[in-house]
């Protein structure tokens, strides 16, 4: 039976059974766009309207959450989902403290310019958490927000996020002055935030010098209605694509340079979009997951992990967004190991537009090695000791930020634990 006959029989069944037609439409929606993202966004806005306003603009606001089946990868919350939850928390914060209303009144807009995440402990499936958000400080162009994932089980800070929110067609000072009817003094910048801002500046200068310029800026119908339950409950495409990338990389010739650059290709699909019509910032981290799968398989590092009974986990990541990726836009993700220390690899991943070669986003990922060391893994693969390259200036700033953030959180919680 060819595809035309299949389509004809599906349409015939749907005409005879309206319920099946409804399931088919829902399945098409779930396969094409991120339905839960839009439903949750509307729920957050409605909830904020009915909650009392927050009069302290820089005050902390908390929303609750729970790790669902759709949020997990290796039985814990996927690192991209942290940024997704932060989107909802920021929307609620701005709706309750009046910033969202003020932005509309001034004809301004606010977008994510950069985020950095420190993962201190995994959030497991079913685990409840509290996401605490606050505006820490601001400069002439951007707000800087801190968002903490606090486990409801033991009160531990499982992850901490800094977000740089760039203000367009206005400034943070004007927004706060319009909202508070007076000039608001800028709070002092914390030490760890200073390090991260230094990293952003150094990264920006390096990319500008390298490029010499800075520019602003399918799916078939599934027949069986039971697939709707699977697609609606699990992130099916994550596992399918991850498996395909690993198989394809295994069939390729191994990389000669273990720490060299490797490229995978992608395209912005409807499922990747947010309410602003471009690739959602959490999807960048998802694409970086796939690029690292391909990288570690292609350079045979996964083989070394298995032989040495080691594993590698994300300890921290930071990403700078330089220009949006629009619907159907093709891009490359270029991955390479920049440096390493006694506990971790540091991987740089760049999103390069296929249309003009512009670096749309750049991410640094700290990959913690468990039950082994980076030196032992590289020595196993190369059959000799490999010297670590010089650490770039922007990466040095970020490593200092991680250290300062870790010390601050440990001092605050009073917990003795291994540095991640």
CA pseudo-torsion sign 394, 398, 399, 404: positive
pLDDT for res 15 = 61
Among the listed ranges 201-215, 301-315, 317-331, which one has the minimum average pLDDT value?
A: 201-215
Helix (H) or strand (E) holding 105: helix 99-105
User: Phi/psi of residue 389, each to 5°?
Assistant: -65, 165
In the chain, where the domains are located: 57-189, 226-413
Mean pLDDT calculated for residue range 40-53: 82
pLDDT for res 141 = 94
The domain 57-189: what is its CATH number? 3.10.129.10
pLDDT for res 300 = 86
Using 50, 70 and 90 to split pLDDT, how confident is the model at 223? low
The Cα 148–Cα 130 span in angstroms is 8
CA pseudo-torsion sign 322, 326, 329, 330: positive
The Cα 110–Cα 338 span in angstroms is 32
Query: Are residues 352 and 332 in contact, defined by beta-carbon separation less than 8 angstroms?
Result: yes
pLDDT for res 239 = 82
pLDDT for res 213 = 55
Query: Are residues 311 and 370 in contact, defined by beta-carbon separation less than 8 angstroms?
Result: yes
List, for residues 348-400, the tens digit of each pLDDT value.
Answer: 999 999 999 999 999 999 999 999 999 999 998 888 888 888 999 999 999 99
The Cα 310–Cα 117 span in angstroms is 24
Helix (H) or strand (E) holding 350: strand 344-353
Query: Are residues 117 and 161 in contact, defined by beta-carbon separation less than 8 angstroms?
Result: yes
pLDDT for res 122 = 93
Query: Are residues 280 and 274 in contact, defined by beta-carbon separation less than 8 angstroms?
Result: yes
C-alpha 261 chain-centroid distance: 21
Of the candidates 218, 282, 333, 278, the one whose C-alpha atom is nearest the C-alpha of residue 87 is 282
Using 50, 70 and 90 to split pLDDT, how confident is the model at 217? very low
pLDDT(340) > 60:
yes
Distances (CA, A) of 255 to 258, 301, 338, 378: 6, 10, 16, 13
As given in the structure block, the two tokens for residue 212 are 């010499």
pLDDT for res 110 = 94
What per-residue string of b and e applies to 163-177 under the rule 16 or more CB within 10 Å gives b? Answer: bbbebeebbbeebbe
The Cα 32–Cα 362 span in angstroms is 27
What is the fold, at CATH topology level, of the domain defined by 226-413? Thiol Ester Dehydrase; Chain A (3.10.129)
Mean pLDDT rounded to a whole number for the chain: 87
SS3 (DSSP) at 400: helix
Mean pLDDT calculated for residue range 316-345: 94
Please give the model's pTM, rounded to 2 decimal places: 0.70
Query: Are residues 345 and 367 in contact, defined by beta-carbon separation less than 8 angstroms?
Result: yes
404 or 20: which carries more pLDDT confidence?
404
301 or 145: which carries more pLDDT confidence?
145
SS3 (DSSP) at 188: coil
List, for residues 146-171, the tens digit of each pLDDT value.
Answer: 999 999 999 999 999 999 999 999 99
Domains 57-189 and 226-413 share a fold: yes
pLDDT(192) > 90:
yes
Query: Are residues 156 and 168 in contact, defined by beta-carbon separation less than 8 angstroms?
Result: no
User: Phi/psi of residue 350, each to 5°?
Assistant: -115, 135
List, for residues 90-147, the tens digit of each pLDDT value.
Answer: 999 998 888 999 999 999 999 999 999 999 999 999 999 999 999 999 999 999 999 9
User: Phi/psi of residue 271, each to 5°?
Assistant: -70, -15
User: Residues of the chain with pLDDT > 70: what percent?
Assistant: 90
Using 50, 70 and 90 to split pLDDT, how confident is the model at 187? very high
């Amino acid at each position: 039976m060819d595809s035309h006959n299949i389509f004809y029989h599906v349409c015939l069944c749907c005409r005879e059974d309206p319920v099946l037609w409804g399931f088919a439409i829902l399945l098409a929606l779930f396969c094409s766009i991120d339905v839960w993202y839009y439903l949750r966004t509307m729920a957050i806005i409605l909830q904020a309207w009915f909650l009392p306003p927050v009069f302290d603009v820089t005050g902390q606001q908390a929303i609750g959450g729970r790790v669902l089946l759709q949020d997990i990868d290796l039985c814990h919350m996927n690192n991209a989902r942290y940024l997704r939850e932060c989107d909802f928390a920021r929307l609620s914060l701005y709706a309750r403290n009046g910033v969202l209303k003020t932005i509309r009144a001034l004809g301004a807009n606010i977008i994510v310019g950069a985020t950095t995440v420190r993962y201190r402990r995994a959030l497991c499936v079913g685990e409840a958490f509290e996401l605490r958000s606050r505006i820490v400080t601001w400069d002439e162009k951007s707000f800087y927000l801190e968002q903490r994932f606090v486990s409801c089980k033991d009160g531990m800070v499982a992850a901490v996020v800094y977000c740089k929110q760039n203000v367009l067609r206005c400034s943070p000072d004007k927004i706060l002055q319009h909202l508070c009817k007076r000039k608001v003094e800028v709070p002092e910048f914390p030490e760890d935030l200073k390090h991260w801002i230094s990293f952003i500046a150094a990264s920006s200068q390096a990319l500008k010098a390298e490029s010499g310029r800075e520019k602003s800026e399918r799916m078939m119908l599934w027949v069986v209605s039971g697939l709707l339950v699977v697609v609606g409950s699990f992130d099916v495409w994550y596992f399918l694509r991850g498996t395909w990338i690993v198989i394809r990389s295994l069939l390729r010739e191994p990389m000669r340079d273990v720490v060299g650059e490797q490229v995978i290709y992608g395209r912005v699909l409807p499922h990747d979009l947010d309410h602003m019509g471009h690739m959602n910032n959490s999807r960048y981290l998802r694409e970086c997951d796939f690029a690292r799968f391909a990288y570690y398989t292609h350079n045979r590092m996964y083989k070394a992990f298995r032989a040495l009974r080691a594993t590698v986990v994300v300890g921290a990541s930071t990403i700078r967004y330089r220009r949006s990726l629009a619907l159907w836009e093709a891009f490359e993700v270029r991955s390479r190991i920049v440096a390493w220390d006694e506990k971790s690899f540091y991987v740089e991943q760049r999103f390069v537009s296929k249309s003009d070669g512009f670096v749309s986003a750049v991410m640094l990922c700290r990959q913690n090695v468990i039950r082994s060391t980076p030196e032992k893994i590289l020595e196993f693969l190369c059959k000799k000791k490999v010297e670590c390259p010089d650490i770039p200036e922007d990466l040095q700033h970020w490593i200092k930020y991680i250290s300062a953030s870790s010390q601050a959180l440990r001092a605050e919680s009073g917990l003795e634990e291994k540095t991640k």
